Amino acid sequence: MTTASMGWAAQLGTVTESTYGVTPGGGVVERFVFVNESLARRGLIIPRDGIRGSRSTVANDTRQGPYRVVGSVLLEPTPADLSIWLPRILGAAPSGSTFALAGALPSFSLSVDRVAKVFTYAGCKVNRATFAGEKGGLVRLRLDIVGQSESVATAGSFPTLTASTEAGPYLFAGDPVLTLNSAAREVQEFELVIDNALVTDRFMNSLTVVNLPEGNRTVTLRTSHAWASANVNLYNQALAGAAGTLAFTNGASSTTFSFGTLQVPANSPTTPGKSEILLTLEMVARQTGGTLELTVSNTAA
């Protein structure tokens, strides 16, 4: 009788430093609680597209083509999780509790125990990180990841590790404080996206991607607010924009996203019917002077 591989039994973790193309040594060292994942090898078989006097193609007239490693991991991150992932999202190693942007991103290996087999993806980078929350729910982090290679190991090769329990995840009710245009604001929901715009098609003369260079980074923040007198000055702001912060606190743990300046296109509120009228801001964080578009402070206690 075949035993099904159930998702609740899956595990995910990052692996000690490794060289691309070589099975990572040292095993999994960081384990994460995750909601779901879709990281996978996406293969391709290439047929010869020639005239052969028939509409049928022939099996042995094909070649194994290149493959990509792409997918996402969804977390409800704790401050301890963020301490691990922020350098991979932003680029720079932390300086104390401060995490800054850098030109290059570090690569890492990610291992997923899918019960029947353990899959390891080497040469990974974070292509896009999306933080999101809405009233009453936990803050979530979706990591869109691109890798270079996949290796598959036998079941049971994933070590026994315990995920960090230093502090629980952030709740979008009481934990956040959003400051825009020099004032704290009530906010119904938010989405913060850090898009590293990786170049993902550099196969060259290889069946796998040879490297994943970074493109122009884009940081966007979308928030929704009551269209009320207290928020009128959020509409049709000056082109220069204004600095802003999004801060979360859970006991002695805290995470603050600080934006150099947030430029806000003027998008009018509309009347949706009998429900509340909302003002949605589609902001782009940009560098101003020597202040980068984004800096993060994270303390896990």
Is residue 54 one of the residues assigned to a domain? Answer: no
**Domain residue limits at 37:** 9-18+26-43+63-299
pLDDT digits (tens, 9 = 90+) for 124-173: 999 999 999 998 899 999 999 999 999 998 887 787 777 666 778 999 98
Is residue 3 one of the residues assigned to a domain? Answer: no
Is residue 48 one of the residues assigned to a domain? Answer: no
Query: Would you state the pLDDT for residue 6?
Result: 79
Segments in the chain below pLDDT 50: 17-24
Number of domains in the chain: 1
Is residue 94 one of the residues assigned to a domain? Answer: yes
Residues 6+ apart with CB under 8 A from 34: 12, 73, 74, 75
Is residue 123 one of the residues assigned to a domain? Answer: yes
Is residue 78 one of the residues assigned to a domain? Answer: yes
Query: Would you state the pLDDT for residue 294?
Result: 98
Task: Look up residue 117 and give its DSSP letter.
Answer: E
Is residue 51 one of the residues assigned to a domain? Answer: no
Q: What is the dihedral of CA 15, 16, 18, 24, to 10 degrees?
A: -50
